[in-house]
Chains A and B, each alone.
Chain A
Amino acid sequence: DADVTQTPRNRITKTGKRIMLECSQTKGHDRMYWYRQDPGLGLRLIYYSFDVKDINKGEISDGYSVSRQAQAKFSLSLESAIPNQTALYFCATRNSGGANVLTFGAGSRLTVL
């Protein structure tokens, strides 16, 4: 099994629908991150969490929310999806003692029609 698992891997939805992307990890890491990847823009940070009680906004948090249900689970929600949220979303984890060496999930491709 993968260390960082994202579900679903692919999702097509319509404008205005609520979408949740889920991430779970078996690494035992305390830090978890959600990134968005768009062609030509690289990866941009949406939200990150130090532990279940500590959630922080990244550079592009508008239109997104997150929930850290447990140390191993970090979900990303789009309350009302719009087409420009079509992207590849990555969850990543790391230990607080590690100098930002991230472990990535395989990605969730979201298409908003």
Chain B
Amino acid sequence: AQSVTQPDIHITVSEGASLELRCNYSYGATPYLFWYVQSPGQGLQLLLKYFSGDTLVQGIKGFEAEFKRSQSSFNLRKPSVHWSDAAEYFCAVNFGNEKLTFGTGTRLTIIP
């Protein structure tokens, strides 16, 4: 069955530290992959996407993600987090149909 898994419900990181948020999917082919961010009281904003080509993609706000076909993963990274990065992050996958399937989200807390 097609599925998207974000194994970490909540992550706490110190300001200035590096960040990696995990996303795995279950699918027989390469899907379209996305990361969205939701700040408190806001809608979802697209951080970055992967369709094909270079497996390391750059996004907005200094984020990047790497697609690893062998691991069915699309992990989001940032070398140095800022207090404004505190938000909820969603991995989303298009499995070749009209719909976008979302993971359950990872809430990021930044401590000073």
Binding site for B on A (CB under 8 A): 4, 31, 35, 40-45, 48, 50, 56, 58, 90, 92, 99-102, 104-107
Residues of B within 8 A of A40 (CB): 9, 104-105
Q: A42-B103, A48-B99 are in contact. Are A99 and B51 (CB under 8 A)?
A: yes
The segment from B13-21, B42-50, B53-61, B67-75 that touches chain A is B42-50
Contact B94 A100 (CB under 8 A): yes
Residues of A within 8 A of B34 (CB): 100-101
Contact B99 A42 (CB under 8 A): no
Q: Which residue from B9, B43, B90, B94 sits with its C-beta under 8 Å from A107?
A: B43
Q: Is the interface of A mostly helix, strand, loop or mixed?
A: strand
Interface size on B, residues (CB 8 A): 22
Binding site for A on B (CB under 8 A): 6, 9, 32, 34, 36, 41-46, 49, 51, 90, 94, 98-100, 102-105
Contact A104 B104 (CB under 8 A): no
Which chain B residue shows the least CB distance to A4? Answer: B43
Which chain B residue shows the least CB distance to A38? Answer: B104
Contact B99 A90 (CB under 8 A): no
Residues of A within 8 A of B49 (CB): 99, 101
Which chain A residue shows the least CB distance to B107? Answer: A39
